[in-house]
Structure 1
Amino acid sequence: MTTSDPIPYLDPAPDASPGQHARRGDRNAPVTPLHPAPLAIAGSTGGVPDSTGVASINKSLAILEIVAERGGASAREVSASLALPLPTVYRLMQTLVQSDYLVHLRSEHRFELGYKLHRLGVSLHRQIGVPQQVRAEVDGLHASARAAAYFAVYRGSDVVVIYIVDSPENPRLQPLTFGFHEAAHATAFGKIMLSGMTAEQRDQYLGAHGQARLTQTTVTNRATLDHELAAISATGVAWEHEEFMPGMSCAAVGVRDGAGLVVGSVAVSARARDLDGREREVELLLRESGARLSRYFRSGTLPARHPD
């Protein structure tokens, strides 16, 4: 059985030779976890005072993240995780319960996510909205490439995954889910979209997001990344080999609008060993999907997929 999540779109670039790029850098440098710590809590160590309300908001959001990550938590567990006084945690969690952001399971002495968060999630999915034609194309790519498939787009200043299709045999990259918007420098769909930015846009994006080392092969040097993005722009295909997640590889092409601008990307990922020797096949499938999706974003119609 396959599973799917909504995710943003990429751009299909002109045909050219396959693009696999060597990663250079210090393999002995420390690797940065994608989520190294809970949300920073302003005011907890002399920062923004509680009287402004900003610190309380940050603490409340941190509480929601802890409860979400753990599938539920007691006030004591949250207090220990966030290094906050237990009375403060109780007060904030009760406020979240009253607002329907948390539910208190009294008999189990724990809290779980509330129903209002579901409504917010439904609203987010509705706002981003992945057209049925796009979903069908990514579904088809997943089946033909025998790999997890993704669709990513620009949303504001971020590169956001809005649709994912995977299966037990071809699992997605972890922790990629709907709304993922990190590590563009280390993902194939992110690199495609970075390659479509102007120099000024790229400077602003990387200045804000950085180039954290996620694995020993992540490109963290700006000059090296710029060189790789220039090659990606020329070939129209981006690859990453174990830069985002050890043992996994990913490839992507862009999706372009009527003006020829990259507005999203379509990508696949699989175990690195499963893609060895299949690079040409995978690139062909991606180019075909990218071209069809580009046609859709130019004209509103999607050509039929060729039978596998």
Structure 2
Amino acid sequence: MALKHEPTAPYHSAQDALRVLEWVARHSAGVTDTVLSRRTGLDAERLTALLRMLRREGYVEQITDGAWVTGDALRRLTSAHGRERALREKIQHVLDRLRDSVGAAVYMSRYVDGEVRITQYAAGPATPAVNEWVDFRCSAHATAVGKSLLTQLDPGARRDHLSRHRMARLTSHTITSDKLLLSRLAAQPPTAPVLDLQEYAVGTVCAAVPVTAGASVGCLAVSLPVERAYRLRQAADTLHRSAAPVLLSLAL
């Protein structure tokens, strides 16, 4: 499967954060902000923002003299034992926080073995998940999740996916022309959210943003009832700004 990599702001944040973590890990007794700035080449403002995020996520801790050491979350994610469980718990924690922040159901999806999979989600009584009335694996053409994942593949891989899944009309808004869909996917800016405006289910709108680390294609998505569609762009922007911790956990 070939990928179409186009770096986004969260991707760059994750890369910078990895550089910071690399130098923190090299100094078991602790490393200061000054040394980190010199070693990573990051200015003080950028470094402070990254360290704030890394401390919030449990990747680093600050000891009594102000120096930084590795945190428990980093040790768990880089351990030879229990990494998959630690990764799942970490992503679930981020999804739960995002659900509460945007006031909507939030999803993590991956493209695995040529199929769309919702791997984790966070929902609740006030933020219900989308009713999967048609298997998400068969409806990538109609969902924000599916279209976001397809945009991250090369044109050949997109056509291969659509050749294996008939583009059924699920609502009056569903795109059923592979030519039209492929054209829209090719024109999709990497930093803009992919939208589903009642294409999968009447009464529901969704947005998805890419989360790609290495050979892993993924996305974060949010769903809202159509009467709250006016909040969709803002919710998608929040997902985009919050994607770095997910990217970082996948890359470790």
TM-score in terms of structure 2 length? 0.62
Give the superposed CA RMSD: 2.6
Residue 158 (str. 1) matches residue 115 (str. 2): yes
C-alpha change, 1:233 and 1:172, in structure 2 (3 Å) is same
The 5 A counterparts of 1:126-205 are 131-175=88-132, 180-205=136-161
> What displacement does 1:176 show?
6.8
The 1:216–1:204 alpha-carbon spacing in structure 2 relative to 1, beyond 3 Å, is: same
Structure 1 residue 273 and structure 2 residue 227: aligned?
yes
Mapping for residues 174-253 of structure 1, pairs under 5 Å: 174-175=131-132, 180-253=136-209
For 2:92, the aligned partner's letter is: R
Partner Cα separation in structure 1 for residue 149 and residue 139 of structure 2: 12
Whether the aligned pair in 2 keeps the contact of 1:12 and 1:265 (CA below 8 Å) is no
The letter of the residue matching 2:238 is L
Q: CA contact under 8 A between 2:107 and 2:220: conserved in structure 1?
A: yes
Structure showing greater relative contact order (alpha-carbon pairs closer than 8 Å, 6 or more residues apart)? 1
- 1:135-155 deviations in Å (ceiling 9; x for gaps): 111111111111111111122
- Give the superposition deviation at 1:297: 1.7
8 Å contact from structure 2 (residues 114, 161) kept in 1: yes
> For the structure 1 residues 239 and 160, does the alpha-carbon distance in structure 2 shift closer, same or farther, using more than 3 Å as the test?
same
Question: How far has the Cα of 1:294 moved from its partner?
Answer: 1.3
Per-residue deviation, 1:214: 0.6
Q: Is the 8 A contact 2:195 2:207 kept in 1?
A: yes
Report SS of the residue matched to 1:193.
helix
Which is richer in helix?
2
* Equivalenced residues, count: 174
SS of alignment partner, residue 131 of structure 1: helix
SS in structure 1 at match of 2:223: strand
TM-score, length-normalised on structure 1? Answer: 0.52
In 2, are the aligned partners of 1:192 and 1:254 still within 8 Å (CA)? Answer: yes
Shift of 1:184: 0.9
Q: Quick check: which has more Rg, 1 or 2? A: 1
3-state SS of the aligned residue for 1:284?
helix
Contact 1:14 1:235 survives alignment (8 Å): yes
Q: Encode CA deviations 1:114-168: one digit per residue, 9 max, x unaligned.
A: xxxxxxxxxxxx9x86621111111111111111111111221101011122122
Which runs of 5 or more structure 2 residues have no equivalent in the other structure? 10-81
C-alpha separation in 2, matches of 1:187 and 1:12: 21
SS at match of 1:132: helix
Residues 262/227 of structure 1: CA separation in 2 closer, same or farther (3 Å cut): farther
User: Does the aligned pair in 1 maintain the 2:92–2:120 contact within 8 Å?
Assistant: yes
Q: Of 207, 217, 226, which residue of structure 2 is paired with 1:263?
A: 217
Aligned-partner Cα distance in 2 for 1:283–1:233: 14
Does structure 2 retain, via aligned residues, the 8 Å contact 1:236–1:254? Answer: no
